[in-house]
Amino acid sequence: MIYRVEGIVIRSMDYGEGNKIVTILTDTAGKVGIMARGAKKLRSRHTSLVQPFTLGEFVYFRNAGLGQLNAGEILESNHQLREDIELSSYAAYAAELCDRAFQDEEVGAYLFHQLRACFDALREGKEPSIVIHLFEMKILEAAGYGPQLDSCVSCDSDSGPFRLSPGSGGILCRRCSGRDPGALPLEEGVLKLLRLFSAIDMRRLGSIQVKPQTREQLKAALRALMDTHLDIRLKTRGFLDQLDRLSLPAIEAAGRRRQQMEASASASGIESNPSEIPSTDTTKGLDGDSDEKLDEGH
Ligand SMILES: [Zn+2]
């Protein structure tokens, strides 16, 4: 049978002489493995189509098992996600999550649209850690493990402060927090973000900036939820953690570099080009006005 689908390449591996086997996450056919004959060879018309993170239209023949790629067309190459080391790590992590957290037949159009929006957001320069944490929340929800964040899971009280108890499936108030000695502290800003993440679709993410401390807690919260509910070991996670450890010095270095550039620009009478300077905005706080910083208009 011939299929024509929109899909995103979430895994790509060499196979035999010049061939590739790719896994694509599709809008209508779940996750599918496809053999692309000759795609590894230079000048094959399918070489670009089967690169990781490519969004395309795929036409393939399949009865059972692997499909055979017949034709295809690139809709969005997402080449920026392959060329930038930081973005490619985040994109690889999101792709691996889709690959590993679900069986082929469990995957529906929802996940396809979330991953597509995730890659769009990364490509558009939104804060990658925020993009990925929102994506993790969407994965948890799709797997049936979205946490309850409105009120205490034990007594339904809605007055904080709360702690996050992944094993109980949500937040615990101060009185009930003894039920889970391992529950994580949750500062107000982090709870707000988690609530926001569970309320919005990936496609509605605006521009959000958070303090490093908030980011740390957010990361710990999502990681605890994922580790408790999804039993998967991700190859891409260690690399992301390394990037995280490097990111603080990088932000400080960017600030120093900006000062130097401004100094030399004013000395030479030319203006520095802001597009060449990495943003330092991640150090801005969310202090109670997170809603205003959301751009939900699209
Ligand atoms: Zn309670």
* Distance from residue 92's CA to the centre of ligand 1 (Å): 38
* Distance from residue 178's CA to the centre of ligand 1 (Å): 10
Q: Which two tokens stand for residue 169?
A: 């499936």
* Distance from residue 153's CA to the centre of ligand 1 (Å): 7
Residue 129 above 70 pLDDT?
yes
47 near 73, Cβ under 8 Å? Answer: no
pLDDT computed for residue 291 by the predictor = 39
Q: List the 170-173 sheet strands across, edge first.
A: 170-173, 162-165, 184-185
Q: Write the pLDDT tens digit of every residue in 140-152.
A: 999 999 999 999 9
Q: How confident is the model at residue 296 (pLDDT cuts 50, 70, 90)?
A: very low
Q: What is the CATH number of domain 2-77?
A: 2.40.50.140
77 near 51, Cβ under 8 Å? Answer: yes
Residue 119 above 70 pLDDT?
yes
Q: What burial letters (b/e) apply to 100-138, b meaning 16+ CB within 10 Å?
A: bbbeeeebeeebbebbbbbbbbbbeebbbbbbbbbbbbb
Q: How confident is the model at residue 196 (pLDDT cuts 50, 70, 90)?
A: very high
pLDDT computed for residue 260 by the predictor = 52
Cross-strand bridge partners of residue 12: 22
* Distance from residue 98's CA to the centre of ligand 1 (Å): 34
Residue ranges of the chain that CATH labels 2.40.50.140: 2-77
Residue 24 above 90 pLDDT?
yes
* Distance from residue 186's CA to the centre of ligand 1 (Å): 15
Q: Which two tokens stand for residue 294?
A: 């959301």
Residue 250 above 60 pLDDT?
no
Lowest mean pLDDT among 9-18, 226-235, 259-268: 259-268
Q: Write the pLDDT tens digit of every residue in 96-108.
A: 999 988 888 778 8
**Residue 265 to residues 136, 195, 261, 271, 277: CA-CA distances in angstroms?**
42, 44, 6, 5, 13
* Distance from residue 188's CA to the centre of ligand 1 (Å): 17
pLDDT computed for residue 290 by the predictor = 40
Q: Write the pLDDT tens digit of every residue in 25-70.
A: 999 999 999 999 988 776 777 888 999 999 999 999 998 889 999 9
pLDDT computed for residue 220 by the predictor = 94
Mean pLDDT of the chain: 83
Q: Which of 39, 45, 46 is nearest to 15 (CA)?
A: 39
Pairing of strands 31-36, 162-165: unpaired
pLDDT computed for residue 65 by the predictor = 86
pTM attached to this predicted model: 0.80
* Distance from residue 136's CA to the centre of ligand 1 (Å): 26
* Distance from residue 173's CA to the centre of ligand 1 (Å): 4
